Structure 1
Amino acid sequence: MRLIGTVTPDRPLLVVAAHEEAAHLGDGLPVLLTGMGKINATAALATVLARGDRPSEIVNLGTAGALRPGWAGTHQVSRVLQHDLDTRVLHTLTGRTYGGPIELGAEPGPVLATGDLFVSDPEARDRLAQSADLVDMEGYALATVAQRAELPIRLVKHVSDEAGAGAARTWRESVDDCAKILADWVHTQLTF
Structure 2
Amino acid sequence: MRLLGTITPDRPLLVVAVEEEAAHLGASLPVLLTGMGKVNAAVALATVLARGERPAEVLNLGTAGALRAGWAGTHEVARVLQHDLDTPVLRALTGRTFGAPIELDVAGGPVLATGDLFVSDPAARDRLAEQADLVDMEGYAVATVAQRAGVPFRLVKHVSDEAGAGADRAWRESVDSCAKELAAWVRDHLR
- For the aligned pair, the TM-score class normalised by the smaller chain equals over 0.9
Counterpart in 2 of 1:98?
98
Q: What is the correspondence of 1:12-51 to structure 2 with a 5 Å cutoff?
A: 12-51=12-51
Structure-1-length-normalised TM-score: 0.99
Q: What is the correspondence of 1:82-161 to structure 2 with a 5 Å cutoff?
A: 82-161=82-161
Between 81-90 and 51-60, report the one with greater CA deviation.
51-60
Q: How far off is 1:96 after superposition?
A: 0.6
The count of corresponding residues between Structure 1 and Structure 2 is: 191
Supply the distance in 2 between the matched residues of 1:98 and 1:176 (Cα, whole angstroms).
35
Q: What is the correspondence of 1:48-67 to structure 2 with a 5 Å cutoff?
A: 48-67=48-67
- List per-residue Cα deviations over 1:14-68 (Å, max 9, x = no partner): 0000110000000000000000000000000000111122000000000000000
SS at match of 1:161: strand
SS at match of 1:3: strand
Supply the distance in 2 between the matched residues of 1:161 and 1:97 (Cα, whole angstroms).
32
Ranges of 4+ aligned residues in structure 1 off by more than 3 Å: none
Supply the distance in 1 between the matched residues of 2:154 and 2:109 (Cα, whole angstroms).
11
Counterpart in 2 of 1:179?
179
SS at match of 2:181: helix
- List per-residue Cα deviations over 1:130-164 (Å, max 9, x = no partner): 00000000000000001101111110000000001
Supply the distance in 2 between the matched residues of 1:106 and 1:41 (Cα, whole angstroms).
22
Counterpart in 1 of 2:189?
189
Supply the distance in 1 between the matched residues of 2:106 and 2:114 (Cα, whole angstroms).
17
Structure 2, unmatched stretches of 5+, are none
Q: How far off is 1:69 after superposition?
A: 1.3
Supply the distance in 2 between the matched residues of 1:53 and 1:169 (Cα, whole angstroms).
37
Structure-2-length-normalised TM-score: 0.99
Structure 1, unmatched stretches of 5+, are none
Supply the distance in 2 between the matched residues of 1:109 and 1:53 (Cα, whole angstroms).
29
**For the aligned residues, what is the CA RMSD?**
0.5
Supply the distance in 2 between the matched residues of 1:18 and 1:27 (Cα, whole angstroms).
16
SS at match of 1:62: strand
